[in-house]
Chains A and B, each alone.
Chain A
């Protein structure tokens, strides 16, 4: 469990970082952010990048900025930052504050980054599910310019995205939810802190006691997180009752095409999608 030999680069600016990436990415040079996913894979030698470009020295990335109804999370921002009240304003901030506690364990959260999770695109990443649920945008910078990739165009498969190897994720932008939005989150894992087997994120508002602007995103069950349009459609226009929630949860479970692996059957994952969707909706009520 000693990593293979690599060279280490410590740029001080985004420009330096993308220049290095342009040069080294073709040679499997990689960004290292919090190292909480990359270092274990290097220790197992499943990854043997000959170059590491460490972005921890780039001060300009360590910021959470709010502009209008958009929050912009820089690539240096750690998971743990979201545990502080007010880190992100409004209901969105409260919601992220609940979600973050399901990510790994505290020591890992003090190193791992929001953008690193999004770059890594684990199917069970809570932050990826957030990006999907809120239709966030991934800001990808390279020597040839900056792209803003919408969530729907970003995730492509298990740990596969439309980000090019020479692109640095400098930030993720999330739209802030309007006041009064009811947000819920639920996930299931064998032990607290483990990657979830399935998770659900739900948000909606009530107008005249009926649900509008429903968002239901499922993570962990499929190769990447996504909003479930059928379930959202079934929720919009309905009152927030137990019967409605149960029906919507069943629709979400029917809509997913769950992964199967040596630990979990597709059936089990599907039943967890149903249970988690229901719990997230109940938590939001």
Chain B
């Protein structure tokens, strides 16, 4: 499969990382073992809210094979888990302790840790720890009036306020005001690999190691070093294979801190693997918001202002992200619309449920749902089509780059490029919207509940500020790229290899990509916020270009040619335009550049270079999703008959992987729209603790997703022109499914809440029919 040098970018080549995965030779957290390791089991609160009276560990400690049992008192020297982006004084009191002391605030709150010779004994012993809790009234509704969280602080930890323009004046004079009250259910990324952490202290090197890291190993290294009072030089994190990241994996949780502290204090490696039930109560949940949102609209359907007051159910603590999901919701909510005036108040409300943080497309799944529900409501009120009302509000290409005085993920919001209406037109044509509208008329006339839905959205990607990579060509000719990036299974290695191969005129299979290792490269920001490809690929291109220049310079000397007349093809430096003739391989050039080489001259040793890519702004891909849905009127079951994702990616490095990201993301979004929900009873007991109660979509439930990729608006903020794909499939899934089902019901505005259950639809249909009969 040898290709001409320029062809790797844009080629749907197979993934490099698959061989070990499909042959069962991957290394996930569960596969990591060290001699003499102990196993940790966490004892968790069984009540949602209460005063912790006592934790009696005597019986557990007395058991054979139990090495230690810790409560909060044993680790009183540890600070609460910190925010990744640095201290935020106002929010600090809402952070989670590694083990709860005095109060428990959700079912699952860790109160003790058992360390034992094997995981069975650890679990037996955990059952013998007697926890006495005086139950307190749980807070379960984030929209209710705040109450006390701790003395002097209430359950509204903060309000994120953003906006611009004169919203009050616009609403006062508006021709039409449309208001809705919509909610997103609590759900989250539920990777099939549960979390795992293995702590090991290597006294020989005085290094504390955390295995099972993911997503942000370098950032977590800094936080952990600070929490444990160690130098970062003596802390290393190792990422293995990751069986699903989705934002929730790879954050610092209490268990990560515990295995490290225990490895130091007990002098043995400590392994912890989360079980599924734990995962469903302990790992970050997400999404739960209620928006009271209204639009001021002029006579032509132009949305002049949006005013949104929303309540974010944060759960028991603020974890590593602080209030980021709410900030992002505020910053991204206006989406692709011009929207001259905007005001939003995001209430971050503490409740007695599992803490929430980011899940794939945080803040956008929610805000796209709220905003697009609002746009449908505007269309309905004005008697305009849903397409037309959107068309009248889209930002035009001539307005790009489009600056919005808002902030998302700490960045000023500046849409770098976009041709929104062109994508809308392409999507409508691709799926045959007009014909579908005729189908709706005829199938409804035949008694079916059948409808179309539409959502337009702007995604964000490529969060900076920087990323680096080092490219090193070995004397074998193999190219090693050492990155501070991380892989959560998205194809990171493949795309980075493609970019390097393209620059270096080599085969992408000659490129080995290192990631997630703090001991190989000093800095890295990892894989989150759809940043890895944009940032690391651009950094790798910078480094590879430097290596290329060095290779050509060395080759020029050896081939007695001018470097400008040379090119690299198939891993060999050749004279431009010459098929035959003298050539020299990259490996040979590396050999000439080794430290002891007499031909090296005064060049620095090694065919290697480091490159950095810095950016001050994110890049904004965008999409249109269209769904066709039918409801079974006897059962309320929904069938998505067609689903289109039209997405402008700027420039696709590997279209197959982009499609994979979009389709996989949509499948998850469908889960949150129709199936998945973490529910709690009136005492705050979690009801969705197994896969029998928390329904993930399966192959049966996910429709064929048609993906239409366009490259009409390359990014202007990075040299490769690329935008991210990781979250584009899920971002508008709730919005588009709700729109289609609403349409199928034939009574606009009925769908105000996700997930949409068959029971709800059945009751809605029956009520509507009864009303007709009356």
Which residues from 242 to 279 on chain A have a C-beta closer than 8 Å to any C-beta of chain B?
A: 262-265, 267-268, 271-272, 274-275, 278
- Which residues from chain B contact A193 at a C-beta distance below 8 Å? 698, 700
Which residues from 250 to 295 on chain B have a C-beta closer than 8 Å to any C-beta of chain A?
A: 275-277
Q: How far is the CB of A270 from the nearest CB of chain B, in Å?
A: 11
Most A CB within 10 A of own CB, among B275, B637, B759 = B759
Q: How far is the CB of A272 from the nearest CB of chain B, in Å?
A: 6
Which residues from 108 to 149 on chain B have a C-beta closer than 8 Å to any C-beta of chain A?
A: 119-120, 123-124, 127
Counting CB contacts under 8 A, is A192 at the interface? yes
Interface residues on chain A, number (Cβ under 8 Å): 26
CA distance A195 to B276 in the complex (A): 20
Counting CB contacts under 8 A, is A44 at the interface? yes
Q: Which one, B124, B637, B700, contacts A5 given CB within 8 A?
A: B124
CA distance A62 to B118 in the complex (A): 37
Q: Do B635 and A45 touch (CB < 8 A)?
A: no
- Which residues from chain B contact A190 at a C-beta distance below 8 Å? 675, 695, 758
CA distance A274 to B693 in the complex (A): 24
Q: Do A271 and B679 touch (CB < 8 A)?
A: no
Counting CB contacts under 8 A, is A194 at the interface? yes
- Which residues from chain A contact B681 at a C-beta distance below 8 Å? 262
Q: Do B700 and A271 touch (CB < 8 A)?
A: no
The total of Cβ contacts below 8 Å across the A-B interface reads 56
Q: Do A275 and B634 touch (CB < 8 A)?
A: yes
Q: Do B123 and A191 touch (CB < 8 A)?
A: no
Which residues from 121 to 167 on chain A have a C-beta closer than 8 Å to any C-beta of chain B?
A: none
Q: Do A195 and B675 touch (CB < 8 A)?
A: no
Which residues from 1 to 35 on chain A have a C-beta closer than 8 Å to any C-beta of chain B?
A: 1-2, 4-5
Chain B 700-714 per-residue mask, 1 if CB under 8 angstroms from chain A, else 0: 110000000000000
Known A2-B123, A188-B637, A192-B698: A44·B277 in contact at CB below 8 Å: yes
Q: Do B276 and A1 touch (CB < 8 A)?
A: yes
Q: How far is the CB of A39 from the nearest CB of chain B, in Å?
A: 13
Counting CB contacts under 8 A, is B762 at the interface? yes
Q: Which one, A4, A194, A262, contacts B695 given CB within 8 A?
A: A194
Q: Do A191 and B695 touch (CB < 8 A)?
A: yes
CA distance A274 to B766 in the complex (A): 14
- Which residues from chain B contact A2 at a C-beta distance below 8 Å? 119-120, 123
Counting CB contacts under 8 A, is B58 at the interface? no
CA distance A278 to B633 in the complex (A): 13
CA distance A1 to B39 in the complex (A): 13
Counting CB contacts under 8 A, is B692 at the interface? yes
Q: How far is the CB of B274 from the nearest CB of chain A, in Å?
A: 9
Q: Which one, B675, B697, B766, contacts A271 given CB within 8 A?
A: B766
Q: Do B759 and A262 touch (CB < 8 A)?
A: no
CA distance A60 to B636 in the complex (A): 46
- Which residues from chain A contact B697 at a C-beta distance below 8 Å? 191
- Which residues from chain B contact A188 at a C-beta distance below 8 Å? 635, 637
- Which residues from chain B contact A191 at a C-beta distance below 8 Å? 675, 695, 697-698, 700-701
Q: Is the interface of B mostly helix, strand, loop or mixed?
A: loop
Q: How far is the CB of B330 from the nearest CB of chain A, in Å?
A: 33
Most B CB within 10 A of own CB, among A5, A265, A268, A274 = A268
Q: Do B277 and A5 touch (CB < 8 A)?
A: no
- Which residues from chain A contact B558 at a C-beta distance below 8 Å? none
Which residues from 147 to 197 on chain B have a C-beta closer than 8 Å to any C-beta of chain A?
A: none
Known A5-B124, A262-B679: A195·B759 in contact at CB below 8 Å: no
- Which residues from chain A contact B762 at a C-beta distance below 8 Å? 268, 271
Q: Do A4 and B124 touch (CB < 8 A)?
A: yes
Kindly report which residue of chain A lies nearest to residue B693, judged by CB atoms.
A263
Q: How far is the CB of A49 from the nearest CB of chain B, in Å?
A: 15
Counting CB contacts under 8 A, is B32 at the interface? no
CA distance A43 to B275 in the complex (A): 10
Known A191-B695, A192-B698, A195-B692: A268·B637 in contact at CB below 8 Å: no
Chain A 173-191 per-residue mask, 1 if CB under 8 angstroms from chain B, else 0: 0000000000000001011
Which residues from 686 to 702 on chain B have a C-beta closer than 8 Å to any C-beta of chain A?
A: 687, 690, 692-693, 695, 697-698, 700-701
Counting CB contacts under 8 A, is B763 at the interface? yes
Q: How far is the CB of A185 from the nearest CB of chain B, in Å?
A: 15
- Which residues from chain B contact A264 at a C-beta distance below 8 Å? 759
CA distance A166 to B199 in the complex (A): 48
Q: Do B700 and A1 touch (CB < 8 A)?
A: no
CA distance A26 to B697 in the complex (A): 42
- Which residues from chain B contact A278 at a C-beta distance below 8 Å? 634
CA distance A195 to B766 in the complex (A): 25
Kindly report which residue of chain B lies nearest to residue A267, judged by CB atoms.
B763
- Which residues from chain B contact A45 at a C-beta distance below 8 Å? 123, 127
Q: Which one, B119, B635, B692, B763, contacts A275 given CB within 8 A?
A: B635
- Which residues from chain A contact B275 at a C-beta distance below 8 Å? 1, 43
CA distance A265 to B695 in the complex (A): 18
Kindly report which residue of chain B lies nearest to residue A44, judged by CB atoms.
B277
CA distance A40 to B679 in the complex (A): 21
Q: How far is the CB of B496 from the nearest CB of chain A, in Å?
A: 36
Kindly report which residue of chain A lies nearest to residue B632, judged by CB atoms.
A275
Q: How far is the CB of A4 from the nearest CB of chain B, in Å?
A: 7
Q: Which one, B119, B124, B690, B759, contacts A265 given CB within 8 A?
A: B759
CA distance A43 to B691 in the complex (A): 14
Q: How far is the CB of B697 from the nearest CB of chain A, in Å?
A: 8
Kindly report which residue of chain A lies nearest to residue B274, judged by CB atoms.
A1
- Which residues from chain A contact B701 at a C-beta distance below 8 Å? 191-192
Q: How far is the CB of B3 from the nearest CB of chain A, in Å?
A: 41
Q: How far is the CB of B211 from the nearest CB of chain A, in Å?
A: 21
Q: How far is the CB of B658 from the nearest CB of chain A, in Å?
A: 28
- Which residues from chain A contact B127 at a C-beta distance below 8 Å? 4, 45
Known A190-B695, A192-B700, A262-B687: A5·B120 in contact at CB below 8 Å: yes
- Which residues from chain B contact A40 at a C-beta distance below 8 Å? 690
Which residues from 586 to 638 on chain B have a C-beta closer than 8 Å to any C-beta of chain A?
A: 634-637
CA distance A216 to B246 in the complex (A): 47
CA distance A5 to B65 in the complex (A): 14
CA distance A193 to B124 in the complex (A): 33
CA distance A40 to B690 in the complex (A): 10
Which residues from 666 to 681 on chain B have a C-beta closer than 8 Å to any C-beta of chain A?
A: 675, 679, 681
CA distance A162 to B124 in the complex (A): 33
Kindly report which residue of chain A lies nearest to residue B124, judged by CB atoms.
A4
- Which residues from chain A contact B766 at a C-beta distance below 8 Å? 271
Kindly report which residue of chain B lies nearest to residue A45, judged by CB atoms.
B127
- Which residues from chain A contact B635 at a C-beta distance below 8 Å? 188, 272, 275
Kindly report which residue of chain A lies nearest to residue B699, judged by CB atoms.
A192
Most B CB within 10 A of own CB, among A1, A4, A188, A194 = A1
CA distance A195 to B695 in the complex (A): 12
CA distance A1 to B277 in the complex (A): 8
- Which residues from chain B contact A44 at a C-beta distance below 8 Å? 277, 690
Kindly report which residue of chain B lies nearest to residue A264, judged by CB atoms.
B759
- Which residues from chain A contact B690 at a C-beta distance below 8 Å? 40, 44
Kindly report which residue of chain B lies nearest to residue A195, judged by CB atoms.
B692
Q: How far is the CB of B703 from the nearest CB of chain A, in Å?
A: 14
- Which residues from chain A contact B700 at a C-beta distance below 8 Å? 191-193
- Which residues from chain A contact B675 at a C-beta distance below 8 Å? 190-191
- Which residues from chain A contact B758 at a C-beta distance below 8 Å? 190
CA distance A120 to B693 in the complex (A): 19
- Which residues from chain B contact A272 at a C-beta distance below 8 Å? 635
Which residues from 739 to 772 on chain B have a C-beta closer than 8 Å to any C-beta of chain A?
A: 758-759, 762-763, 766
Q: How far is the CB of A76 from the nearest CB of chain B, in Å?
A: 26
Closest 5 CB pairs of A and B: A1-B275, A275-B634, A192-B700, A268-B759, A2-B120
> Which chain A residues have a beta carbon within 8 Å of chain B's beta carbons?
1-2, 4-5, 40, 43-45, 188, 190-195, 262-265, 267-268, 271-272, 274-275, 278
A-B contact pairs, 20 of them (CB 8 A): A1-B277, A2-B119, A2-B120, A4-B124, A43-B275, A191-B675, A191-B695, A192-B698, A192-B700, A193-B700, A194-B695, A195-B692, A262-B681, A263-B693, A265-B759, A267-B763, A268-B636, A268-B759, A271-B762, A278-B634
Given contacts A40-B690, A45-B123, 9 further A-B contacts (CB under 8 A): A2-B119, A188-B637, A191-B675, A191-B695, A191-B700, A262-B681, A264-B759, A267-B763, A274-B634
